[in-house]
Structure 1
């Protein structure tokens, strides 16, 4: 594990219609993220938030633009800036920890990171697949599309953002915790043979076995970098109520911590997104606190 961690706040809310998720990075900070990482021996540099030039207009926040996509220009421009910031972090030999913000920010984070890896892997912890495009999406919300875009499916200017072409191969992707897939996403997963562990798989097999198989698959693929993208809705809403698209039947806090411990022990993870914390929907910052408690296990926290 790289002990030099850059915290990059991505105050993105344009990929979906609900206000408040742009406050997610600061709510995670207030929940004690820096202290938790420093306790684990990390050298932490908080680089602040990307947000200044992106002003939220509550009246016109949900405007469909290019190809029926919500807030297309804002999402694109924000991700261009985020990709550059993340690229700089990796170039300096640090571990970029990107705080969201909605999940459309992963377009930029993965684009910036993938410049440095020829065979990057991605673990996608999420209740959703985020594998839609403008044709399959029932909403036009880009936060349901970032993984597809990173795999090469979507609007050209998003697919080719920061550097041209596909950022991650389908066979280098593992979905974990999914339990709410659109019809087009199910078809896409099957057509491209993406390794997927549903919430039911976790309950039947146990999270430790799921993670063992996920890590084993990526080792067989000989990935040279591993990006973890963790949406807090992968956990059950009882644990993380402050998120925009909660789905019942998710992981417990303990299961998420076990999963992070397996990844820590693998020494494979080179970057991370921690996304979709919305304090306006939360209960006393509970979701941000659970996000910190989960992430700290990725950086070496143990129960004993």
Structure 2
């Protein structure tokens, strides 16, 4: 019933700011640690290799407005080429980021084949810009605005690659797991997301109704769009700090591992699910590997529960 799985590495950190001067964000190591946990063999997947990103730079890019903007544009096209080639072979793509900006490349790949949907699992909306845009011009980070970029809200150098803006229509996206802090509301223009056409099933809904029920609703919404398929995006910061401290923005009120598994299993059970990307876990913040082990186990369990893996 389900197509074979291909695992493709996208070890990009181009969309992040350095945690401290001179530091290099460690999320580029995420594919390595998930592979060390046996994710390829445990899923019975094909190893599709890696799309190597350009070097990271902490410098501002005033012309584009985003740190590493030009490099990210080039990388997104290369990533879209590889994802698109795997999809043309009928493969389900498991994309191992990297930071959340890999969505620009994956959504471009989908758009080249026609309109697609997206289940976006993230504690943040990744859509709302800061209130004072002028202050950060040139310093925006694509990993915190990936959903905005994929839906056409940003510079054409990132939003209109191949002349295909937007890669995703807002109404074809379902957001799951939103959990705002007071800082989010104070610093970000959250009304931009709240007044968009993107339906949101936040953490409060998941807690009230259960992860499986909310996952089933998201699946039904996406299937009802009449599209050829949908992609799934997971930012590890959707998980609670108690189980996932190894992210750049630890979440004080997030999902439990079993809730993430239930959400993913519901979505993966749909024949219309064509790919999944995993992002943001930083192995530098997980020296003993506890987080990478738990995250891998949760994802593999979702594939098993969905019926995609025996």
Q: Could you tell me the TM-score, scaled by structure 1's length?
A: 0.88
Matched, 1:262 2:266: yes
SS of equivalent to 1:113: helix
Aligned residues: 293
Please say if residues 219 and 270 of structure 2, whose CA atoms lie closer than 8 Å, have aligned partners that are also in contact.
yes
SS of equivalent to 2:252: coil
Aligned to 1:36: 42
Please say if residues 151 and 167 of structure 2, whose CA atoms lie closer than 8 Å, have aligned partners that are also in contact.
yes
- CA deviation vs aligned residue, 1:111-147 (integer Å, no higher than 9, x gap): 11222233x1100000111114587666611111111
Change (3 A) 1:94 1:136: farther
Aligned to 2:239: 235
Please say if residues 15 and 142 of structure 1, whose CA atoms lie closer than 8 Å, have aligned partners that are also in contact.
yes
- Cα distance in 2 between the residues matched to 1:302 and 1:67: 41
Aligned to 1:49: 50
Aligned to 1:291: 295
Aligned to 2:173: 173
- Cα distance in 2 between the residues matched to 1:249 and 1:188: 23
**1:88-107 to 2 correspondence within 5 Å?**
88-107=85-104
Shift of 1:67: 4.0
Aligned to 2:22: none
Aligned to 1:156: 156
Shift of 1:184: 5.0
SS of equivalent to 1:174: strand
- Cα distance in 1 between the residues matched to 2:2 and 2:160: 28
Moved more, 289-298 or 93-102: 289-298
- Cα distance in 2 between the residues matched to 1:134 and 1:62: 19
Moved more, 4-13 or 70-79: 70-79
- Cα distance in 2 between the residues matched to 1:63 and 1:132: 22
Moved more, 292-301 or 96-105: 292-301
Shift of 1:227: 0.3
Change (3 A) 1:88 1:191: same
- Cα distance in 1 between the residues matched to 2:167 and 2:148: 10
Gaps of 5+ in 2: 19-24
Aligned to 2:21: none
**1:83-162 to 2 correspondence within 5 Å?**
83-118=80-115, 120-133=116-129, 140-162=140-162
Change (3 A) 1:102 1:136: farther
Please say if residues 64 and 70 of structure 2, whose CA atoms lie closer than 8 Å, have aligned partners that are also in contact.
no
Please say if residues 131 and 189 of structure 2, whose CA atoms lie closer than 8 Å, have aligned partners that are also in contact.
no
**1:238-257 to 2 correspondence within 5 Å?**
238-257=242-261
Please say if residues 212 and 266 of structure 2, whose CA atoms lie closer than 8 Å, have aligned partners that are also in contact.
yes
Aligned to 1:41: none
Of 53, 64, 85 in structure 1, the residue corresponding to residue 60 of structure 2 is 64
Please say if residues 100 and 273 of structure 1, whose CA atoms lie closer than 8 Å, have aligned partners that are also in contact.
yes
- Cα distance in 2 between the residues matched to 1:83 and 1:222: 23
